[in-house]
Amino acid sequence: MAMAKIILLLVVLVPIRMAAARRDCPKVPLLGAVAACQKACGTKLMHDLCISMMRQGGADMSPSHMERATVYAILAAHSAGNSFDDTKLAASNQLSQNSSLSTTLRNAYEGCMNDYAPADSSIDHIADEALPSCRFKGLADEYTRVITSVEKCRVRLLSPTLVKTPLYPMVLADRNKAVLANLLGKLLGI
């Protein structure tokens, strides 16, 4: 039920954010959603994730429809940020509601909550401030901070028992979404 509410919220909010972010930033290419995915993504995994993210975000997928690459970068950053929020909520719920968590698992989840703090702050800055205002200076470092922070949590969960937890696939998906956001951000020349 909670997942349905989150998906509904994404379907409603992401297109609104896309509409609000239509900026004609200087020297940013104009291209279609599929072309943006093809240009940004070098692997099938990333390309498929990009197409899925575009569709879920309400991007017009018709070949004739063009947007500034900034719009797609903002969509990817918001998608990653929303996914981070879901993961943090899942970890927080486990920490507060599951009294049977082992000390190892509890420590890993708490560590991941700390790892996600800089990722969350950076992705919010990218999506809500830097990209919509066409301020691209320093964005490569911000994207790196996002990916590194999420990857730190993923590595924390790599032990044989922790990789089987429900949090691990969420963190892995978050890492991939952070990488996708970075790849689409590179279309802006950062």
What is the per-residue pLDDT across 77-107, written as a single tens digit (0 to 9) for each?
A: 999 999 999 999 999 999 999 999 999 999 9
pLDDT class of 8 with cuts at 50, 70, 90? very low
Q: Which long-range contacts (CB under 8 A, 24 or more apart) does 151-160 make?
A: 151/175, 152/115, 153/111, 153/112, 153/115, 153/116, 156/108, 156/111, 156/112, 156/115, 157/108, 157/112, 159/104
Angle at 164 between CA 163 and CA 169, to 5 degrees: 70
Surface-to-core class of residue 175, CB atoms within 10 Å of its CB (0-12 exposed, 13-18 middle, 19+ buried)? buried
Least confident span in 12-26, 144-158, 174-188: 12-26
With respect to residue 64, please indicate whether it lies within any of the assigned structural domains.
no
Residue 117 falls inside a structural domain: yes
Name, in order, each residue with C-beta under 8 angstroms of 58's C-beta and a sequence gap of 6 or more. Answer: 11, 14, 15, 18
**pLDDT of 23:** 57
Write down the pLDDT at residue 3: 47
- Answer yes or no: are the C-beta atoms of 174 and 77 closer than 8 Å: no
CATH of the domain at 92: 1.20.140.40
Instruction: Identify whether the C-beta of residue 170 lies closer than 8 Å to the C-beta of residue 86.
Output: yes
pLDDT at 179 (0 to 100): 99
Give the mean model confidence (pLDDT) for residues 56-72.
96
Q: At what angle do helices 2-20 and 44-56 cross, to 10 degrees?
A: 80
Domain that holds residue 117: 70-186
The answer to whether position 154 is within a domain reads yes
Q: Is the pLDDT of residue 20 over 50?
A: no
What's the burial of 9, exposed, middle or buried (CB within 10 Å: 0-12/13-18/19+)?
A: exposed
Number of domains into which the chain is organized: 1
Q: Is residue 96 part of a domain?
A: yes
- Higher-confidence residue of 24 and 76: namely 76
Q: What is the pLDDT of residue 22?
A: 45
The verdict on residue 30 lying in a domain is: no
CA-based nearest residue to 79, from 113, 45, 55: 55
User: Has residue 56 been placed in a domain?
Assistant: no
Residue 31 lies in a domain: no
Residue 2 belongs to a domain:
no
Residue 174 tokens, joined: 């978050």
Compute CA distances 89 → 20, 103, 109, 110, whole Å.
27, 19, 11, 12
Q: What is Dmax (Cα atoms) for the chain?
A: 55
pLDDT at 166 over 70: yes
Identify which has the larger pLDDT, 26 or 36: 36
Residue with tokens 């800089």: 118
